[in-house]
Structure 1
Amino acid sequence: MKCRNIFSFKVYKPKLYLPITTHKHYSRGQALSLMDTGSASNNLGRDNMERKRCIFWLPKKNRFCSNSPLNGSSFCGNHSSRSYEQWIPCPIDPSHSVLEQNLKGHVKRCPLLKQAQSLSLQPFYQKGINAGSDGEEQEEEERLGVDGSRLPIMTVSSEMKRNAVNKMSVTEFCNLIDKIESLHESLCKDIQDSFQMPDVCSLWIKTRVEERKLPFQEKHISQQASIVGNLENIGVLKKSLGRKSSECEEADEEEEDSAPAVIEFGAGRGYLTQMLADCYGIERVFLVERKSYKLKADRSLRQNESLMLERLRIDIEDLDLNAVESLQGVPFVAIGKHLCGAATDLTLRCCFPPKNRKDNSEPCNAKSNFGGLAIATCCHHLCQWKHYTNKRYFSDLGMTKKEFHAITWFTSWAVDANHGSESDLPDTSDCRSHLQSIKEQSNGYANGVEKVIADMEAAKRASLGFKCKWIIDMGRLMWLREHGLDAKIVKYVPSTISPENHLLIAR
């Protein structure tokens, strides 16, 4: 007898809705040619009206933006043209902008509001303590919003800096370049190479390579080792600390002379600190970083039972070192390899409490808990006049805030392409002869500075960019010396490894 399966069900097969692929894909060149010929409104417009998507071309993804356009526009909110008078940085997180009239409502529902509130409750949080409050930036009055509320001073973006440079006259531009050449020639003398590779670091690297435990590119190894080696050269780190205390008869005596705490600013994943802790037996480590990262070195560091590790998740601008309970009364060494732009200036201020800064009328006592520092400067195009430590230095050189921002923008030319080593670039005489020819032909540049820059050779732009980097860093160096520190600036790796090869060291 054949049994009927009472548990048989009809299988439901849902319909599969495939994405619409009828719209035509344009290459970047095709898109630009269509726009140039004026047929973009007929071709791109009709095509994107059908699929209702933004027509902004994304070259890296080789496609158009997939966001929905704004009403009455062919572009989405991210790619529509913005007026800097209407869009302002969010006071909670300046990485995104909001319309000025929407600011009051946005700050109540910003996705990062809860995170910012929790971070602000930390005992060592003090809003803007390291932002630069020496009184010189009071010229930048805070703007009033539409509702009468005070708005934060807008960060000067690279685009705004470029536009300001392009608005210069050809004569003003040439005079500024000539001033940069003269300043570099007089200020940046006898800068030495200091490529270090301590024996203890070399042994550490060899072991890691053999065990395949290097979670980063090998070029970072030489940078980290040289930073550590330069600290050792100025006497901040003791060579004998590379050995275990049980192997050193006088370890206890020498540990008393060493800095028992290391603070890595802009720590990221913390691999610079890991090399320092493994090679020199550091006992206390503080990692300062405002973002969260995966694959951090923390797990490996915590396996060392003799090491005390503390990660401070906070913006350097708001960090009060005096309020860190476990750091009170403890000498420290400050290090940093990822301090982009103004982060270097924020770190320098952070190392010295406000009462110990030269800005104030009180006596300067910078060496209270400070043991030394080694900071690799980079991304000078992100520097801001508001945060720069030594505004007086630029003012004494006859430089204005506008010229400072122009100089910071010029620094991007040093790293925008492969120009070989810095020593292969044109010298000052070549650049000045080029400037003279521009001045003589100033009437021929109808399009102004933008045309002058476009006609400059890439090598000459790169040479100018490197000189601007040195001028900015020399101001920081002088600021450290004004605080009674023995400070200098060196090239810590060859420019073939990284064009960002300036290292500020002090004790």
Structure 2
Amino acid sequence: MSTTFLHCKYFVKRKKRYCKMLVKSGEEYCGEHQMSSSLTKARIPCPLDPKHTVYTNKLQSHLRICNARVTTVPSYIEKNINVGQMEYSSASDMLSPYQILSTLPKNKVLEVITKINNIYQNNVHISEKFLSFPVVEQELECHSEYGNKTRKHLKQTSAILGYLNECDMLKADTCFIEFGAGRGQLSCWIAEATTQLNNCKILLIERASPKHKRDNKLSKTSDRIQRIRADIADLVLEKLEVFSTVKNVIGITKHLCGSATDLAIRCMVQSTLTKCKSTSLLFTFCCHHKCTWTTYTGKNFFQVTIFS
């Protein structure tokens, strides 16, 4: 009587346990550890990256899509163009650009704290405004089964669209750029909100390749949406064709973490599009603790206003 293995029978020596991958019906090993002597089922290390294996009969098709393949760098990619520069006053600063708070004189720390408090009290005026957008609100009303996480993100999307609408940014002849687009939920709602407007484009920028992208459902029936896989640090906007037929360019973010927000700001400001197009920004911030001094766009404020 043969034994059925639900999990792969291969013993991983490095981890001192059996492989936890599930196997196909009638098989004892997962695809990665397939030990069949049949030529069509034999697996070999990928020639481009030996960290993973591939079936010999599918080698050629795999080489065309393998993530390790050498690809031509697009014209709109220029390494670290939006990163900014680190200013060094000495060789020691170059080795250690960050100062530990406990090494600074106490009076200097207190002086900086006093300056920050005075600047906040005299110049920062925060007001609250809760906006929404009918199309997204209708989605919430029609789907009471949505969980708290889904409803939270839809509420945030509704608010962003509400601000776009109030600031007269939902208009024709416009390209909306979503930096750090993820699965593209916000962009898809912008596409929905601008359906009746002429010549509206949506550009999604994301360095990862997430599954279940919402824009895939729209791209089959519309050429308005374009997704580019790129790091914001390397992106040169004016070299993209999508801007050639529009008059307005609007940059948008939703939960763009830390220094990525600075990269997106610099990407927009440094672009020559600001000279020939009407450009606007509507950014929502996230994860301030992930900001870095090198990429930070407000260095002058700290150096002149606070530390001078």
What TM-score, normalized to structure 1? 0.43
Segments of structure 1 that go 5 or more residues without pairing to the other structure are 1-9, 20-52, 54-65, 68-108, 144-152, 238-256, 357-365, 401-507
Q: 1:222 to 1:296 in 2, by over 3 A?
A: same
Which digits, 9 at most, give the CA deviation of each residue in 1:188-244, with x for residues without a partner? 12x22121012233224334x16x68895211111111111111111111xxxxxxx
Query: RMSD of aligned C-alpha atoms?
Result: 3.9
Amino acid of the residue matched to residue 313 of structure 1? R
Aligned to 2:192: 278
Aligned to 2:138: 203
Report the Cα distance in structure 2 between the residues aligned to 1:228 and 1:119, rounded to whole angstroms. Answer: 37
| Structure 1 residues 290-305: aligned runs within 5 Å | 290-303=207-220, 305=221
| Structure 1 residues 27-426: aligned runs within 5 Å | 121-132=73-84, 137-139=86-88, 164-189=100-125, 191-207=126-142, 209=143, 217-237=150-170, 257-281=171-195, 283-303=200-220, 305-330=221-246, 331-354=248-271, 366=274, 368-399=276-307
Q: 1:355 to 1:200 in 2, by over 3 A?
A: closer
Amino acid of the residue matched to residue 231 of structure 2? D
Kindly indicate whether the alpha-carbon contact (under 8 Å) linking 1:236 and 1:371 is maintained by their aligned counterparts in 2.
no
Report the Cα distance in structure 2 between the residues aligned to 1:308 and 1:388, rounded to whole angstroms. Answer: 33
Q: 1:119 to 1:325 in 2, by over 3 A?
A: farther
Q: CA deviation at 1:126?
A: 0.7
SS in 2 for 1:288: strand
Amino acid of the residue matched to residue 397 of structure 1? T
SS in 1 for 2:301: helix
Which digits, 9 at most, give the CA deviation of each residue in 1:271-291, with x for residues without a partner? 111111112226422110001
Amino acid of the residue matched to residue 123 of structure 1? S
Kindly indicate whether the alpha-carbon contact (under 8 Å) linking 2:136 and 2:157 is maintained by their aligned counterparts in 1.
no
Q: 1:380 to 1:11 in 2, by over 3 A?
A: closer
Kindly indicate whether the alpha-carbon contact (under 8 Å) linking 2:203 and 2:228 is maintained by their aligned counterparts in 1.
yes
Q: CA deviation at 1:175?
A: 2.7
Q: 1:380 to 1:392 in 2, by over 3 A?
A: same
Report the Cα distance in structure 1 between the residues aligned to 2:123 and 2:289, rounded to whole angstroms. Answer: 20
Which digits, 9 at most, give the CA deviation of each residue in 1:120-148, with x for residues without a partner? 71221011211125xxx3437899xxxxx
Q: 1:155 to 1:379 in 2, by over 3 A?
A: farther
Which digits, 9 at most, give the CA deviation of each residue in 1:71-120, with x for residues without a partner? xxxxxxxxxxxxxxxxxxxxxxxxxxxxxxxxxxxxxx998xx9588577
Kindly indicate whether the alpha-carbon contact (under 8 Å) linking 2:257 and 2:285 is maintained by their aligned counterparts in 1.
yes
Kindly indicate whether the alpha-carbon contact (under 8 Å) linking 2:183 and 2:214 is maintained by their aligned counterparts in 1.
yes
Q: CA deviation at 1:344?
A: 1.1
Aligned to 1:434: none
Report the Cα distance in structure 1 between the residues aligned to 2:101 and 2:50, rounded to whole angstroms. Answer: 34
Kindly indicate whether the alpha-carbon contact (under 8 Å) linking 1:130 and 1:346 is maintained by their aligned counterparts in 2.
yes
Q: 1:338 to 1:130 in 2, by over 3 A?
A: same
Kindly indicate whether the alpha-carbon contact (under 8 Å) linking 2:177 and 2:249 is maintained by their aligned counterparts in 1.
yes
SS in 2 for 1:348: helix
Q: CA deviation at 1:301?
A: 2.2
Which digits, 9 at most, give the CA deviation of each residue in 1:342-396, with x for residues without a partner? 111111121134557xxxxxxxxx3522442211011111112221223222222
Report the Cα distance in structure 2 between the residues aligned to 1:155 and 1:311, rounded to whole angstroms. Answer: 38
Report the Cα distance in structure 2 between the residues aligned to 1:370 and 1:155, rounded to whole angstroms. Answer: 41
* Residues paired across the two proteins, number: 252
Kindly indicate whether the alpha-carbon contact (under 8 Å) linking 1:263 and 1:332 is maintained by their aligned counterparts in 2.
yes
SS in 1 for 2:116: helix
Amino acid of the residue matched to residue 213 of structure 2? K
Report the Cα distance in structure 2 between the residues aligned to 1:320 and 1:167, rounded to whole angstroms. Answer: 40
Report the Cα distance in structure 2 between the residues aligned to 1:119 and 1:231, rounded to whole angstroms. Answer: 38
Q: 1:234 to 1:117 in 2, by over 3 A?
A: farther
Which has the larger Rg? 1
Kindly indicate whether the alpha-carbon contact (under 8 Å) linking 1:259 and 1:333 is maintained by their aligned counterparts in 2.
no
